[in-house]
Amino acid sequence: MVKTKTVHTIQEVIETRQEIIDSIRDSLNYEIDGLVIKGREIDREDMKRAKPESQIAFKFPAEMIDSTLIDVEWSVSGANYTPVALIEPVELLGSTVQRASLANPDIMGQLGVKIGSKVMVSKRGDIIPKIEYVIATPEGAEEIVIPIKCEACESDLINEGSRLYCPNEDCPNVRYRRIVKWIKKNDIKHFSEKLILRPLYETQRIQKIADLYTLKISDLTKLEGVQEKSAKKALNNLLAVKQIPLERFIAGFDIEGLGERMVKKAVKAGFDTLEAIKTASIHELSQIDGYAEITAQTLQQGVEKLYPEMEQLLKTQKVKIAEPITEGKLKGLTFCFTGKLITMSRKEAHDLVISNGGEPKSSVTKHLSYLVTNSTERTTKYKKAQEQGTTIITEAQFLKLLE
DNA sequence: ACGAAGGCAACTAAGAATAC
DNA sequence: GTATTCTTAGTTGCCTTCGT
């Protein structure tokens, strides 16, 4: 028996629909994809029409929908090549989806997609589009071509299955990404990749991080689409970052698999200068909590190889390695943020934690001290924190800790 | 008017290290 | 030897703000 309900206003229709989505839908033992709104009186003539005018369907937002794979684009970032599916645009949970990452050649292969395949698209966590599976592939459909040579240096790409990459350590793309990483890691705004960094790199005006600090306003205003206002803004932002903690300095050099957190562990363990890390043996570094052979080697070899560039950067005198912060009200505490904050951005909150000696985390882990959120929405982070009994506090309570 | 960039949302894969 | 935990790095789309 189909459920019915009599309502009197448009508002009630909207509320009822929401109620069905939120609770009623799950309790039914059959699938529904929407509701039909019709007048109480039955107009027999109207009902004979293919599309009766006295009734209208009010569908729920789809949670999964089918589309067609148009093509695969290879997104290049540094050494890595990642397949991205371009699909026929479809409406899904309130937005138009036309791209979805295929992660790596292995996952692409497991899905078995070809150009023209009908695919099922969802959104993970209601946000990120994802190709779930292939519904059907037309006969004789074109295979997806995996690139063989690096677009930048023509080296033969290495296909490890879970990773397709260019093995050349001096590949122009790798060197370019190092510069971009520095800008991003240090949160230097308005240094547009498209308008500024790419063109400067391609015309050989900048080749290393240190070169950024030789730039003049005139170098930027020469570029298309950049006038004095933007040029000044970019350079001011660059020069505003002067004191850089060692872990960020090293992480800013884009050593594969070595982020700020891992370097911080070394700093905490007493390897708190660039020289100390450079001269340490792999064995010594592998004694650090959270380090073993592989990470120790990555750090040691990375710093050794990039040391001349690091020295060159420090020689410009435009940046300095800052003294580590070891004291503060939040010493020894870790924080993870979720949802919107009221008085500050996510980034400011992270900085606040760091400047008070605490540590921000991007996910809820076992030893997290606090999850900070203003909402009780049951997101993955919230649920996980609840499950393992992590203290959940509001933004106001977080600010109280700093008083 | 147009385009670029920042900021935000929440999640996943892969690999390394540690815990059991 | 196996399971779990942690870190890194990346994923799309929408909205707002600002410069050209």
Query: In this predicted structure, what is the pLDDT of residue A309?
Result: 95
Whether A222 and A293 map to the same domain: the answer is: no
A202 vs A375, higher pLDDT: A202
A4, part of any domain: no
Residue A113 domain flag: yes
Confidence band (pLDDT; 50, 70, 90) for A392?
A: confident
Give the range among A260-264, A286-290, A323-327 with minimum mean pLDDT: A323-327
User: Do A66 and A148 sit in the same domain of this protein?
Assistant: yes
pLDDT higher than threshold 80 for residue A11: no
One domain, residues A317 and A355: no
- Do residues A137 and A89 both lie within one domain? yes
Locate A48 and state its tokens.
Answer: 């004979």
| A156 shares its domain with A228 | no
Q: How far apart are the first and last CA of chain A?
A: 60
**Would you state the pLDDT for residue A182?**
94
Asked whether residue A394 is domain-assigned, the answer is yes
pLDDT band for position A128 (cuts 50, 70, 90):
confident
pLDDT at A300: 92
In terms of domains, do A101 and A176 share one? Answer: no
- For residues A207 and A275, membership in a common domain is answered with no
- A134 has which bridge partners? A119
Residue A372 shares a structural domain with residue A355: yes
- Write out which nucleotides of chain B lie closer than 7 A to a protein Cβ: 4-18
Q: What is the pLDDT of residue A315?
A: 96
Place of tokens 């459920």: A3
One-letter identity of residue A50: A
Q: What is the pLDDT of residue A203?
A: 92
Claim to verify: residue A131 and residue A142 sit in the same structural domain = yes
Confidence band for A318, pLDDT divided at 50, 70 and 90: very high
Domain span at residue A141?
61-166
Residues A212 and A155 in one domain: no
How many domains in chain A? Answer: 5
Residues A73 and A160 in one domain: yes
Q: Is the CB of A18 under 7 A from strand C?
A: no
* pLDDT score at A59: 62
Domain membership of residue A49 (yes or no) is yes
| Percent share of chain A, pLDDT over 90 | 33
Contact flag, residue A77 CB and nucleic strand C, below 7 A: yes
Whole-angstrom Cα distance, residue A288 to residue A285?
6
More confident residue, A46 or A397: A397
Higher pLDDT, A301 or A36: A301
Q: Supply the mean pLDDT for chain A.
A: 85
| Residue A252 banded pLDDT, cuts 50, 70, 90 | very high
Residue A56: left (phi > 0), alpha (psi -120 to 50), or beta?
A: beta
d(C-alpha A352, C-alpha A163), whole Å:
36
Q: What is the pLDDT of residues A24-74, one digit of tens each?
A: 766 666 556 677 777 776 666 666 665 566 777 666 655 788 899 998 989
In this structure, are residues A126 and A149 in contact, taking their beta carbons and an 8 Å threshold? no
Q: For residue A339, give the nucleotide whose C1' atom is nearest its CA.
A: B9
**Closest nt to A130 (CA→C1')?**
C11
Distance (Å, rounded) from C-alpha A20 to C-alpha A61? 12
Distance A51 CA to B12 C1' (A): 43
Tens of pLDDT, residue by residue over A76-111, are 888 899 899 999 888 887 788 888 989 888 889 888
Please give the share of chain A, as a percent, with pLDDT higher than 70: 90
pLDDT, position A31:
58
Strand C–CB A166 distance below 7 A: no
Tell me the CATH number at A147: 2.40.50.140
Q: Which nucleotide is nearest to A381 (CA to C1')?
A: B10
Residue A3 located in a structural domain: no
Could you tell me if A310 and A391 lie in one domain?
A: no
Picking from A136, A166, A196, the residue at the C-terminal end of a domain is A166
Q: What is the pLDDT of residues A184-221, one digit of tens each?
A: 889 888 898 888 999 999 999 999 999 999 999 999 99
Bridge partner residues of A159 (DSSP): A164
pLDDT tens digits, A323-343: 877 678 888 788 888 777 777
Domain assignment of residue A2, yes or no: no
Rounded to whole angstroms, the distance from the CA of residue A224 to the C1' of nucleotide B1 is 19
Which pLDDT belongs to residue A257? 84
pLDDT at A50: 58
Report the nearest residue to nucleotide B6, CA vs C1': A189
Q: Supply the CATH number for residue A297's domain.
A: 1.10.150.20
Q: What angle (nearest 5°) sits at the alpha carbon of residue A226, between those of residues A222 and A232?
A: 95
Pairwise CA distance, residues A336 & A218, whole Å: 42
The answer to whether residue A328 is domain-embedded is no
Would residue A327 count as lying in a domain? no
pLDDT reported for residue A342: 75
Residues 38-97 of A with CB under 7 A from strand B: none
Q: What is the mean pLDDT of residues A355-382?
A: 77
The CA angle A15-A16-A21, to the nearest 5 degrees, is 100
Tell if A290 CB is < 7 Å from nucleic strand C: yes
Q: Give residue numbers, 319 to 358 of A, with CB < 7 Å from strand B.
A: 338-341, 345-347
Domain boundary among A35, A59, A83: A59
Strand B near-CB residues (< 7 Å), A 2-31: none
From A293, A322, A351, the end of a domain falls on A322
